[in-house]
Structure 1
Amino acid sequence: MSNNPFETSQASLHAAAEIGKINPDAVRYLEQPKRIFQFTIPMKMDNGELRFFEAYRVHFNDALGQVKNGLRFVPDLDLDIVKALGLWMTIKHAVAGIPAGGGKGGVKVDPRTLSEGEYERLCRAYIRKLPMKGAWVDVPGADIGTSGKTMAWMLDELEEIKQFHQPAAINDKPVAANGTQLSMEATGTGVFFVTREAVKDMGIPGDAKIVIQGFGNVGRTAALLFHEAGFKVVAIGDIKNAIHNENGIDVPALVAHVAKTGYVEGFAGTVGLSNTDLLELPCDILVPAAVQSVLNAGNADRIKAKLIMEAANGPTTPEAEEILQAKGIKIVPDVLTNCGSAIVCSFERTQGLTDDYWSADKVKAKLEERIVEAYKATKAASEQHDTSMRNGAWINALTKLQNSMKARGWI
């Protein structure tokens, strides 16, 4: 049994391809990335020390268009994680009807150990050393350890290199740097829209108990929207610890607490617990919104949720999925649940190419329309093939990829 994210992504690929009768040659294209860039960034630190940082960028597949999104600056980054994320992004774009391929990358570093100046120099160096970039080739976006601020630095560096403005070449920028409204809230907002549809279909009550693992951009945005809609968020975890209140957590007050203290720990009216125990709490809806492989063979039999909404990438291993399905727990997969950011990044590129920037209301309305449509298509494919929602989403995506590959003469 493995928690390797690339093996998890390949298991999803092959399971769906078999059920959906996808052309085997199309599947072979998706068994490895089209391009892998692996490079070293040497950098002088503030104290004069020379350090070397491992960096990656994967162009997984570009049958549907230029590759896009995802730069992750984390201390445990490796090539298998980047490859898995690249394949998931390829599928995610296809699920959401976006004419783009999947790209992913980043640097093996803990940004919290860097000064502001070191962080900026590392971001700029990454863009300088990235071999292929630009609005029609590869459009990096933010992920864990990166943000609107880092993407603005990267855009500025890229424009210095190219010697002309091209705001569509970098995603997830602040509005002040030709970004889009709702950029940082896109994934969490999409998670809310998809959860709302799944809850309707399953007949789960409107005051359902929700447990959220992860309180970054995604978990925080989703938690606020759940709270506003009347759901009862009973437990939330972050990178350090977790908190629980069976009667519901005051999410806006928690956001203010985290802004002051940095962590959910110590929030008034809650009991502390570990992230391991958090996942195993009885609840209606479990939202893993942190990292990959947190639901695995070691804990799947102790999960007590009725519905799992995968807000993180690859939070459920194939072994865990078998156990959860046998228990009757429904899973709405990552490539659908968290594709809100991919959708809004597509809007951002469109706005950058046309110099036509949209209001937050327009972005939100178009996001809702696109992601609800993707949910309905996934559900229809799942029912048509009498299979899981994950397989339904992947079959839809693989069919689009297969058709493009055939039209292009690849297969």
Structure 2
Amino acid sequence: MSYLEVTWTDPATHARGHLVIDRLVRGVSSGGLRMRAGCTLAEVRGLARGMTAKEALNYDPGARYVPLGGAKGGIDFDPYDPRANDVLTGYLHAMSPYIERFWTMGEDLGLRQSTIDEAIAKIGLQSSIQAVYPLLDDETKARQRLSDAFQVTVDGVGLDELVGGYGVAQAALTGIAHLGLTSPTAFVQGFGSMGGATARFLARNGVKVVGLADVHGVVANPAGLDVETLLLSRDRHGGIDRAELGAGDVQLDGDRWLDVPADVLVPAATSYAIHAGNAHRVRAKLVVEAANMPITEDAEVGALVIPDVVANSATNSWWWWTLFGDVDPTAESAFDKIGTTTRRLTGRIIGEPSPRKAAQRIAADASDEIARLFPAEQFPTRACPADLSHDRVQMMVCGRTW
């Protein structure tokens, strides 16, 4: 059972937004905010549960950063709609008491961090992660360190947009080595922050990216796509500029993304992209979950699957490693930490009969250790969540509806 579930309705558009706090550690939780048409409470609940595991998997007893609890936010609205920013601002205003005290968050599917930051400033909050500030030894230095990191660019792309995909690429390369694949090819579904960075670092490590999918369809080339050109010309939603396609590149309908032959498949867009109805079309030998929950539980995929809680965990952890001082605000320090951690975790699960169950086991053991070291009674919440309710918000706290 989740610790807290909140559902909000926008009075102007009737869009619905959800927040689920799965668990608090030291009174705080962590998890991003997504916006997509069709986002449900059940989806957000599953994502929040995954965040609890993702946080715990990166527990290091010798680090300054102690993993937080898991949470997730989701808004059922089209991010391309011209009213999207107003809906986002209304949602964040409604959730502001939780952002102030319990929930730290950043970008996820359909949203960019810069868009969230603009809305956060508009409603008068300090930051989307201000709930964690009381846990810092030196807030001023920590915030400066994170700010400095967000100013770093690597070959035209911000470091914050690269860290997640760098981790996914490291997980994929570990899987490729484990399977003994030679001259591997890859298809990446989704070309936003996660998919774009994954494609870049796979290509830079000798993996031929033969196909990409975005909201407009599929582009493919068996000889390999020019990932760098497409990456640097994409729009803010990860859309590929078709004017930049090269000779030999072909365009396909979006529903044909599983028809492009590749050794490695990286679903990096929506949840539930691979399901019982299309799993038989997966021909890859290795599937690396860059998106959150891209494969449904009833889908039978005949490939080695590296689960999202391992593959994409660097997106979240890099913020905290930087804020708490476990990495410096440089690309070199970030990539070193992400690479070492992701390869280690992937190596621990990849030879198991079920890598997903192995990851869940490791996360559960780490959660138990964190709970033992930091019992909840030592970190009481700074207000009862039920006292924070207001108009157009329905809440469930530990099973009780308010």
- What TM-score bracket applies, with the shorter chain setting the length? 0.7 to 0.9
* Mapping for residues 304-343 of structure 1, pairs under 5 Å: 304-320=283-299, 323-324=300-301, 327=302, 329-343=303-317
Counterpart AA for 2:42 = D
Q: TM-score, normalization: structure 2? A: 0.78
Q: Single out whichever of 91-100 and 255-264 deviates more from structure 2.
A: 255-264
Match of 2:90 among 110, 125, 144: 125
Counterpart AA for 1:138 = W
* Mapping for residues 50-129 of structure 1, pairs under 5 Å: 50-63=12-25, 66-97=28-59, 99-114=67-82, 119=85, 121-129=86-94
Matching residue of 1:7: none
Matching residue of 1:346: 320
Counterpart AA for 1:196 = L
How much does 1:256 deviate? 4.5
Matching residue of 1:274: 253
* Mapping for residues 363-382 of structure 1, pairs under 5 Å: 363-379=334-350
SS at match of 1:237: strand
How many pairs align?
A: 350
* Mapping for residues 256-267 of structure 1, pairs under 5 Å: 256-259=232-235, 262-263=239-240, 265=242, 267=245
Matching residue of 1:196: 173
C-alpha distance in structure 1 between counterparts of 2:97 and 2:26, whole Å: 18
**Cα–Cα, structure 1 residues 252 and 166, in superposed 2: closer, same or farther, change >3 Å?**
closer
C-alpha distance in structure 2 between counterparts of 1:174 and 1:85, whole Å: 30
Is 1:311–1:338's contact at 8 Å kept on the other side of the alignment?
yes
Is 2:211–2:225's contact at 8 Å kept on the other side of the alignment?
yes
**Deviation per CA, 1:70-118, whole angstroms, max 9, x where unpaired?**
1112221111111111111111111222511111113222232226xx6
RMSD, aligned α-carbons: 3.1
Is 1:94–1:397's contact at 8 Å kept on the other side of the alignment?
yes
How much does 1:397 deviate? 0.6
SS at match of 1:311: coil
C-alpha distance in structure 1 between counterparts of 2:3 and 2:207, whole Å: 43
How much does 1:377 deviate? 3.2
Counterpart AA for 2:228 = P
**Deviation per CA, 1:174-233, whole angstroms, max 9, x where unpaired?**
99967645222121111111112221222112x311111111111111111111222111
Pairing 1:212–2:188 present: yes
Q: TM-score, normalization: structure 1? A: 0.76
**Cα–Cα, structure 1 residues 360 and 112, in superposed 2: closer, same or farther, change >3 Å?**
same
Pairing 1:140–2:105 present: yes
**Cα–Cα, structure 1 residues 133 and 399, in superposed 2: closer, same or farther, change >3 Å?**
same
How much does 1:318 deviate? 2.3
C-alpha distance in structure 2 between counterparts of 1:131 and 1:344, whole Å: 24
Structure with greater helix share of residues: 1
**Deviation per CA, 1:337-358, whole angstroms, max 9, x where unpaired?**
111101112224426xx9x962
Match of 2:215 among 233, 239, 242: 239
Which structure 1 segments of 5+ residues have no match?
1-31, 43-49
Counterpart AA for 1:363 = A
How much does 1:166 deviate? 5.8
C-alpha distance in structure 2 between counterparts of 1:219 and 1:225, whole Å: 10
Matching residue of 2:205: 229
Counterpart AA for 2:343 = V
C-alpha distance in structure 2 between counterparts of 1:251 and 1:349, whole Å: 31
C-alpha distance in structure 1 between counterparts of 2:149 and 2:14, whole Å: 31
How much does 1:401 deviate? 2.2
Is 2:109–2:269's contact at 8 Å kept on the other side of the alignment?
no
C-alpha distance in structure 2 between counterparts of 1:357 and 1:122, whole Å: 35
**Cα–Cα, structure 1 residues 167 and 305, in superposed 2: closer, same or farther, change >3 Å?**
closer
Counterpart AA for 2:82 = L
SS at match of 2:349: helix
C-alpha distance in structure 1 between counterparts of 2:376 and 2:193, whole Å: 41
How much does 1:270 deviate? 1.4
Is 2:8–2:91's contact at 8 Å kept on the other side of the alignment?
no
**Cα–Cα, structure 1 residues 57 and 348, in superposed 2: closer, same or farther, change >3 Å?**
farther
